[in-house]
Structure 1
């Protein structure tokens, strides 16, 4: 039997959600994604929705020099939907809808191909208290990247955000 995690460790204690605050924030994030998708579809747009299985905040010292940013793990059942639509030359704009809940960012990132009226919505949650290196890299480079990868680590798409502030919140810790 596995022992309960040491909740005296503040990093582990933050992961606990006894009042359901994070669960509710995730539920609202998914509802927001669906509402945005429905609105776009009502306007005649092609929309792909993706729920990231996991999102890491990656700094330059964690990998390749240019792979810092948000690294979304895309579940296998979403990979074909994404790769059938996404082209980095055509998706040139983005919007971000999100909120900071207890140091966790709950975000819907919308990648947009305006001329073709196509949109890809990615729902994600990530821990901003572990993002200092990513934020520093973004500030140094003047950009932040969103990367999508499969469970086996294959990068299936990347997007450069020149204005990245809507995607981050400096941790208070």
Structure 2
């Protein structure tokens, strides 16, 4: 590609005005505020930050796995793995905003029986999520998969109601 022609996908990832940087900082602050409120209410809370999140459709891999795939750093893996149990964490809440086509979100996995919560901060490109959304609509469910960098699956959560996780991006420049 000639030097004078820009690639729109590359241009989106640049952040000269720090809008995306500020959105990520705000997402982490939101996660900590939610965690603090839960702890004040007597809950046990684990906070996790995704290093990377992909929107995966059924036709992207060797199997039918689809949904949000969060890669978490190893320093979060042990605590997440020892806390998360798909049979106990049966509810979720999603908090987020779309900023320049990226979803900045905190997903809260909830075990209301024992007042436990796992908060997962993430950012994913909604402009590349069409296949994932189509897979979810065809199946009537969306999955969240949490993995380590080496691909070890630490947990999978099934979202029967998933609209908050796939909000359509808009052209907003800030929160």
TM-score by length of 1: 0.93
The answer (yes or no) to whether the contact 2:98–2:169 under 8 Å persists in 1 is no
The answer (yes or no) to whether the contact 2:104–2:122 under 8 Å persists in 1 is yes
Which of the numbers 145, 160, 170 marks the counterpart of 2:168?
A: 170
Partner secondary structure for residue 140 of structure 1: helix
- Given the superposition, is the C-alpha separation of residues 131 and 123 from structure 1 closer, same or farther in structure 2, using an over 3 Å criterion? same
The residue number in structure 1 matching 2:148 is 150
Q: Which runs of 4+ in 1 moved over 6 A?
A: none
Count residues in correspondence: 169
* Deviation at residue 6 of structure 1 after TM alignment: 8.1
Q: Does 1:67 align with 2:62?
A: no
* Deviation at residue 67 of structure 1 after TM alignment: 1.6
Pairs within 5 Å for 1:109-120: 109-120=107-118
Q: Does 1:81 align with 2:79?
A: yes
The residue number in structure 2 matching 1:95 is 93
The residue number in structure 2 matching 1:133 is 131
Aligned Cα root-mean-square deviation (Å): 1.6
- Given the superposition, is the C-alpha separation of residues 6 and 137 from structure 1 closer, same or farther in structure 2, using an over 3 Å criterion? farther
In 1, Cα distance between equivalents of 2:85 and 2:68: 18
**Structure 2 segments unaligned to the other structure (5+ residues):** none
In 2, Cα distance between equivalents of 1:172 and 1:138: 21
In 1, Cα distance between equivalents of 2:40 and 2:61: 41
**Structure 1 segments unaligned to the other structure (5+ residues):** none
Partner secondary structure for residue 163 of structure 1: coil
Moved more, 63-72 or 44-53: 63-72
